[in-house]
Amino acid sequence: MVEIELDGKKVEVAEGCMVMHAAEKAGTYIPHFCYHKKLSIAANCRMCLVDVEKAPKPMPACATPVTQGMIVRTKSEKAIKAQQSVMEFLLINHPLDCPICDQGGECQLQDLAVGYGGGSSRYEEEKRVVFHKDVGPLISMEEMSRCIHCTRCVRFGQEISGIMELGMVNRGEHSEITTVVGDTVDSELSGNMIDICPVGALTSKPFRYSARTWELSRRKSVSPHDSTGANLIVQVKNHKVMRVVPFENEAVNECWIADRDRFSYEALNGDDRLTKPMLKQGGEWKEVDWQTALEYVANGLRTIKNDHGANSVAALASPHSTLEELYLAAALVRGVGSDSIDWRLRHAEFVAAQGVRWLGMPIAAMNELQAVLVVGSNLRKDHPLFAQRIRQAAKKGCQVFAINGKVYDWALPVSASVVAAADWAQALADVAAAVAQAKGVASPVQGSDNAEAAAIAAALLSGERKAILLGNAAAHHAQAESLLAVAQWIGEQTGARVGYLTEAANTVGAQWVKAQPQAQGLNAAQILSGNAKAVILLNNEPVFDSAAGAKAVEGLSKAEMVVTLSPFKTNLDVSDVLLPIAPFTETSGSFVNAEGRVQSFHAVVKPLGETRPGWKVLRVLGNLLGVQGMAFESSQDVLAAAAAGVSQLDAELNNRTTAAAAVVQGAVAEPVVASIYQLDSIVRRATSLQLTADARQAREGGAA
């Protein structure tokens, strides 16, 4: 540790720290633009100049290492004068458009100009003008004359998202931030550049000119998309979601969110919203009141149960639904006497539950991995924030390996990538055989000798912190349990943690509240094949969300009644009833992320039209059908009942399997995996996200 004196106070910091870090520890604010705690040090704005004793001139706090006995003054005349001079220099070319700037009210330059800027400018020449650029549907670079060349966006691209999409060209006054001519910014994390830009040079294109920051209310929420469970601040005006930004949580999403977390809100205000219950009568859709719709559903379920038996009533629940909705859906189906409820719509193999499948480690531990094998995942697109953490680990020397159907660009160094589209289990068996050979033990499966498998085995056998992570494609694989069994054996032999990246916001939660058959119920594939007579579709669109795809329509058409609970007008061709339920912004609820962290949130706006929270709709249906134990007053009561009805989540988290480690011979169908902007019904309807390169590639048959 090194002790320095900062503004008369003694501060102790680790050797190698900068003066800026010492100031943060002491609670002293030093003005800055280019410094950001998550990015490398550039020291190019010079706003953080401080007075260091015995130094001939003011020094940048962000790039000056501490030394024993150093005396620093941040508020001396010398420091203040240097900071004022820098501010004058920065404002020379800055346009006078604060009144119309989207950054107005939350602009660092604006804030610091009040404290350090002059009353008038001595500069009377023409200001420079930088030509605007079109970089895609998400980021606006219309006013690049505002740019102060802090290079935060450039460093973010290089260091966090892994792709240098923005760079600086020319010199001196002619410097400008730009893309390669004609290129767009296509990173799945690109929206974070808007947050870290300290001026109004990069702004949100969907949000542009729609509200002023001081008009917005800020409310905490949780992302309903992938399994990170990113913490959000939802900004609201007149009961309408206007913008979504990250809420900092080091253990989950740090200070970043993926673009689908940030821009999916557009769907919530779209024309596709379902605002009133609807019944299909004579092939025509008619709006009805809630009582009529619910009584129609309850009578229909009662009749079908009497005619065909209880197990003919089934529910397909989306793992993007809240924990409370999943618990009540399971309670409703079981209250009717059926066990036919399932959330595993994209799965190809259905086995009895043996434990709640999860990540196998805390999310934050991914940053510290020394070796990782990812099986069956386009990591960067399926889980952008997990990929970001593994990217940070790779920068510290972590060896990354992949077994996938094709080679993906993860924007991080991959030591070896095994392409095993036809035979994934065999590719993993080869690694097991290489581990067995290295340790001199018997392999549980027959494997062939190859260089990639040997390299993976060697990496997993060395070091302390290593993991085998099974992705969405591995979970949806026709040999999912065999893959897990082989991975489990490798993990036992090498000391590597084995876990699932888990697909959706509530994949872990759905397993925890047992929203899947426990005994003799129909699984998702059987329900979609037409074996059920009454089907409740909770928050999903089987054509897009299931392994059956377009064939789901054929299977569901065999049912006598299909009820859709959704925020959107969907499943129109197969449904008999549409019940409008609230999306995550209009209901309270909980999500359980990949590491098993239960995160609850409140509604941030009022439900649109006659929309009702999903848990309330399911509770009333349960009451109409005479199901016991569904008299809940709030979502918190449901959560308490769900948590009491099952054992402690930590005790249930378990990736072990009793399946045999085996390689099944013969052709295996390719697992069904959703592309980045097709994951759930909200993302699919977000206009700007559907204009991105990733969405376009997926539509054209790629694998974005």
Amino acid type, 576? D
Question: CA geometry: angle at 413 spanning 394 and 697, to 5°?
Answer: 120
Decide: helix, strand or coil at residue 455.
helix
**pLDDT number for residue 688:** 95
- Residue 145: count other Cβ atoms within 10 Å of its Cβ: 17
| Pair of tokens at residue 207 | 């949000």
Give the residue carrying structure tokens 């392409």. 419
pLDDT (tens digit per residue) in 215-227: 999 999 999 999 9
pLDDT band at 151; cut points 50, 70, 90: very high
CA distances (Å), 507 to each of 160, 500, 594, 595, in order? 26, 10, 8, 11
What is the bridge-based pairing of β-strands 71-73 and 2-6? Answer: parallel
Measured distance CA(381)–CA(362) in Å, rounded: 20
Listed in sequence order, the DSSP H helices in 242-320 are: 259-263, 290-308
Listed in sequence order, the DSSP H helices in 177-222 are: 192-196
CA distances (Å), 485 to each of 425, 444, 473, 638, 660, in order? 10, 10, 16, 35, 6
Q: Are 593 and 323 in contact (CB under 8 A)?
A: no
46-50, 256-260, 449-453: range with lowest mean pLDDT? 449-453
CA distances (Å), 72 to each of 33, 53, 169, 416, in order? 20, 6, 35, 49
* pLDDT greater than 80 at residue 422: no
Mean pLDDT across the chain: 91
pLDDT band at 324; cut points 50, 70, 90: very high
Element (H, E) at 375: strand 371-375
Measured distance CA(575)–CA(563) in Å, rounded: 6
Give the mean pLDDT of 262-273: 93
pLDDT band at 229; cut points 50, 70, 90: very high
**pLDDT number for residue 646:** 62
pLDDT band at 449; cut points 50, 70, 90: confident
Decide: helix, strand or coil at residue 125.
coil
Amino acid type, 181? V
* pLDDT greater than 50 at residue 704: no
Instruction: Give which of 518, 205, 494, 470 is closest to 333, Cα–Cα.
Output: 518
| Pair of tokens at residue 378 | 């386009």
**pLDDT number for residue 323:** 95
Per the DSSP assignment, residues forming a β-bridge with 330 are none
Class of residue 695 by CB neighbours under 10 A (exposed 0-12, middle 13-18, buried 19+): buried
Per the DSSP assignment, residues forming a β-bridge with 660 are none
pLDDT (tens digit per residue) in 31-73: 999 999 999 999 998 999 999 998 999 999 999 999 998 999 9
* pTM, to two decimals: 0.94
DSSP 356: B
**pLDDT number for residue 423:** 77
Decide: helix, strand or coil at residue 599.
strand
Nearest 10 degrees: CA dihedral of 285, 286, 288, 290?
0
Measured distance CA(176)–CA(393) in Å, rounded: 31
**pLDDT number for residue 282:** 87
Listed in sequence order, the DSSP H helices in 440-520 are: 451-461, 472-475, 480-494, 507-512
**pLDDT number for residue 174:** 87
Measured distance CA(299)–CA(276) in Å, rounded: 20
* pLDDT greater than 60 at residue 619: yes
Count, in order, helices (H) and strands (E) of the chain: 23, 27
Give the mean pLDDT of 132-139: 92
Q: Are 424 and 477 in contact (CB under 8 A)?
A: yes
Give the mean pLDDT of 598-618: 95
Measured distance CA(304)–CA(301) in Å, rounded: 5
Q: Are 597 and 649 in contact (CB under 8 A)?
A: no
Q: Are 582 and 285 in contact (CB under 8 A)?
A: no
Give the mean pLDDT of 125-132: 88
Where are the extended beta strands (E) located within 453-516?
466-470, 497-500
**pLDDT number for residue 64:** 93
248-252, 348-352, 603-607: range with lowest mean pLDDT? 348-352
